[in-house]
Structure formats: structure tokens, C-alpha cells
Amino acid sequence: MVLSVDLRAIEQSLPTGMRCIVPVAHDKDTLLLPQQLSDFASMLTSQDFTGKEGQQYIFNDGKTYLVFVGIGEQGKLLPRHVQRPLGNAVRAHLHKGSELAVLAAHIATGDAYTSYLTELVLSSVLATYSFTKYKSKKNEAKEQTKQILLFLEKPTKEYTATVARALEIAKSIAWTRDIVNEPSNATPPQYLAYLLKSDEKNAPFHVEIFDGKKIQEMGMQLVWAVGKGSSEDPHFAKVTYMGNPANKKFVALVGKGVNFDTGGVQVKPDTYMNTMKGDMGGAALVMGVMHALARLGAEVNVIAYLPFVENSVDGGAFKPDDVYTAFNGKTVEIKHTDAEGRLILADALAYASLEKPTEILDFATLTGAVTVALGPKYAAVMGTNQEAMEKLHMLGEEVGEHVWQLPLEDDYRKFMNSDIADIANVSEKRVAGTIMGGIFLKEFVDASIPWVHMDIAGVATTSKGDGIHSDFATGYGVRLMVEYLTRK
Ligand code: BES
Ligand code: ZN
Ligand code: ZN
């Protein structure tokens, strides 16, 4: 995967001996090419190349290798329109032993151009990601391409910072993808917690880790209940990043870190269990955000609360009908051992609430139902922080990580009533599964703290790579949350 981006000026004599990707927008019938390539316009037009999103035309005279990629109409150009065409062009033309270059026209000015550059870097870098750790035969083109040469019409100093920021975000997304792609036998709870500890060496954040014994002592019975059926001890990590130490206020991020979800004793049937190595997608998202904030030196204060468990089955596993007391003192009747994510989040949310953050956001691969409701492109958001949900929606449209709000309907709370405890972990009515998850979590957040829950079960992974995505982990949400936290 690409690890560095080198900024250069496009010269009259075009780069040779490398594959050059040239994104081309259009303004009505005019193709917006880098000035230095304007001679190609009539040839492209004669080949019916209009700059429409996804169109490709290859020019190769043995010396110069240019891949013209249509990215659509300039006026409607949102960064996310660049992702698929550029990502696919990079994937298709990465070539072993050949350098990769992107040649960009100066199609906008000011912030619009900065965000265009950000998109070019993120899309082309992420398209070179692959997870081949366990393959004897590697994807050599992706593996060997460590650098992109980004040629601009007018490279100025100012753009160096933009490119560096985009590259750090891309690397953090790749880090998150790696965590999710790893099989569960490589990522027990303890390993995930200590992965943050080893990241601490290179990052200005502080990591505290609680093991299973400490988790019990602290009164996080729900985390303990879910984790105790596994031979791998549950762990809890608290990551403190104070990028603005003059201010004591901070945002809390909570993530579901189930390194594998068998369903517990109500075991998942047949292949429904497959892909459950990705059930720590929420925690991995938060880890990627912390990784990025630290490397960007972002002037924000954020504390992450991450419960890590394996939902497995042995004689000590928690069972349906069991009752446990959450960190905030509420009792929970287990009605389904496969609704484990909300249990570990409940303790983490209650613990985070006690520390009085200005707002709390949690991320979880919580329900299969979210894919039924919103499909593979939209994460669901719900909660009490309307302003945050609107900002997330707006940013999501921009960066291509979409969110859609679902209602937290108070009337549905009664479906979670338990005969013997304060609340049950699943609804007696099998309707609105994603909302029920949110309604359960709400009980464990201090009502005075604005809160958002994001269900990413549909978007954290994909069955088939496309554009900037490779197979399985997408790294969804890292970029969205970095923008959310750093853009006021
Ligand atoms: N980890 C699953 C949710 C999930 C399903 C994530 C598919 C990714 C893909 C979660 O723990 C779970 O099993 N949820 C149950 C909840 C039910 C028992 C109320 C579900 O969605 O069926
Ligand atoms: Zn489950
Ligand atoms: Zn789960």
C-alpha cells in the first residue's frame, strides 16, 4: 500500500516510465484537463470521452502512459464522486514495477480545491490497500506501490499540508481495516487493548487497560457476563487524547469491541456466524480516529472507552434468563445472548457518562436489521443530540460515508420490559430491531449528556471490493469522525 505522496509540478514533457492517472471533470462540453495536457482535448473528444463519471480512456505511446478518468460535471463535483472512478482506475492500472502518478488539473480554487486534493489523495491511496498477510502469494502490484507522485498544475507549499493530512487519515483508515480484517484467533480482547498500548509509544495519548478481574471489581457486570464464556479474558481500554490541554472539556467515543460473536449459547446458526470476526468494527473505528487525531496533532480533547470481549460458549458462559447489574446500577435480564453488543456498550456508556463529557458518540456493528433497513451504504444514527446527527449527515454526504437518522420512539420502550429486572436486552416484539438497540442503550447514558448512537453493521464491511474499498473491512467512519471532531 502507498505510504507516501510526493508533490510535483507537471512539466511540459510528461512523466515517462510510470502509469499516470488523470482525473477529468467537465464543464458542459469542455474537458477540464491540466493545462499541460490541453493538446489531448480534441483527441479525447473524438474518442467520445466526455468526462462522465467512470469513463476511462488510455493513451500509451510506449513512453507516456496516461489513463484519463471521467469524474463528472465540475459544478456538481462532490468529493465522493471522485472515489469510485479514481479508486477503480488506480486498482485497474496498478502495475508491478511501475510507479504510480496522479496528474491533477487546477479545477477549483480555495477550499474547494483543497477538498478536491484531499479526495485525490484518499481515493488513490486507499485503492492500493490490500490485506494479504496470510497469503503466500501476495498482490505484488499493491504491495510494491509504496509511493504516489501527485503532479499538480500549480503545486504550492499550502498544498503540502493538505496532502499530508489526507495521507494520515488514509493510513488511519487502513489501520482500522487491518484490525477488522484480522481473523479472531489473531485478535483476542487482550491483544486489541494492547494494540492501543503499543500505539501509545508513537502517539500523544494515554492508554489505561483494565483486565477481567478489574472489570468485575469496577462493577461492569455486563462486560464481564458477555466475556466470561471465552477462554480469552475480557479487557477494557480507556484512551485519553488531550490535544487542547488548556480546556478540560472532552468528547467521549465508545466502540463495540467483540472480537468474535458466536451468538453465545443461543449460538448463531450455520453461516450466520461467518464474518463475525468483524464484530469489533465500532471499536476499530474509534481506534482509527484516535490514531488519526494523535498523528494530526488535532487540537481537540477526546477520550475513548472500548470494551473488548469474545462472545463465546463454554460452561461459564452467560445464559438467557440471567440477570446482571450494569455499571449504572440498572439490572438487565438476558433474553438473548446474541444481543451482546448493547450489553458491553451499556457499561461503557454508563462509565463514560460518569466522567461528564460534553457529548458521547457510540459506534457498533449492533444489528443485522440495519442492513435490512438501510442497505450497505448508510449507517443508522439515533440519539438525543439532534445537532450532531445533522452535522454527521451533512459531513457524511460530503465524504461519502452516509448516515441516516432513525427515530428513538419512546413508545417502543415498553417492548423491552422485563418481568424481573429493570430492562431486557431484546424486545419481545421482533420489529424495528435497530431502533430497539438504540432504545436499550439510551437507558445507560446520563440524560443530561447529548448522545448519538451509530449502528455500522451494514457499512463496516463489504462482501466485494470496489472503488476505494477492498474486500471486507471498509474503515467506514474514521474519516467522518475525524472531520466531525476537527471541523467546528
Ligand atoms: N453482531 C451482531 C450484529 C450483526 C449482524 C453485525 C450481522 C454484522 C452483521 C449482533 O451482536 C447480533 O447478533 N444482533 C442480533 C440482535 C438480536 C438478537 C436482537 C441480530 O441482529 O440478529
Ligand atoms: Zn450478537
Ligand atoms: Zn455482535
Residue to probe by mutation, ligand 1, list 367, 412, 439, most atoms within 8 Å of CB: 367
Per residue in 251-283, pLDDT (tens digit) is: 999 999 999 999 999 999 999 999 999 999 999
Two domains, one topology: 4-170 and 187-486: no
Sequence spans of domains, the chain:
4-170, 187-486
pLDDT > 80? residue 50: yes
Q: What is the pLDDT of residue 142?
A: 84
Average pLDDT over residues 49-59: 97
pLDDT > 80? residue 477: yes
Per residue in 9-32, pLDDT (tens digit) is: 999 999 999 999 999 999 999 999
Average pLDDT over residues 371-384: 98
Q: What is the pLDDT of residue 75?
A: 85
Least confident residue range of 89-103, 218-232, 443-457? 89-103
Residues with CB under 6 A from ligand 1: 261, 279, 336, 338-341, 365-369, 426, 433, 457
The CATH fold assigned to 187-486 is Aminopeptidase (3.40.630)
User: DSSP for 4-45?
Assistant: EEEEEEPPSSPP-SEEEEEEEEEETTEEE--GGGTTHHHHHH
**For the CA of 436, the nearest atom of ligand 1:** 19
Per residue in 149-175, pLDDT (tens digit) is: 999 999 998 899 999 999 999 999 999
pLDDT > 90? residue 143: no
Q: What is the pLDDT of residue 144?
A: 87
> CB-hemisphere CA count at 13 Å for 453?
32
Q: Is 278 helix (H, G, I), strand (E, B) or coil?
A: helix
- Alpha carbon of 410 to ligand 3 centroid (Å): 24
**For the CA of 427, the nearest atom of ligand 1:** 19
- The Cα–Cα gap between 60 and 63 comes to 7
Residue to probe by mutation, ligand 1, list 338, 430, 461, most atoms within 8 Å of CB: 338
- Alpha carbon of 360 to ligand 3 centroid (Å): 21
- The residues carrying an active-site annotation are 268, 342
Q: Which of the four pLDDT bands, split at 50, 70 and 90, describes residue 343?
A: very high
Cβ-proximal residues to 366 (8 Å cutoff; 6+ apart), any chain = 256, 282, 341, 342, 345, 434, 437, 453, 455, 457
Per residue in 193-240, pLDDT (tens digit) is: 999 999 999 899 999 999 999 999 999 999 999 999 999 999 999 999
**For the CA of 369, the nearest atom of ligand 1:** 21
- The Cα–Cα gap between 193 and 257 comes to 10
Q: What is the pLDDT of residue 258?
A: 99
Share of the chain above pLDDT 90, in %: 94
Class of domain 4-170: alpha beta
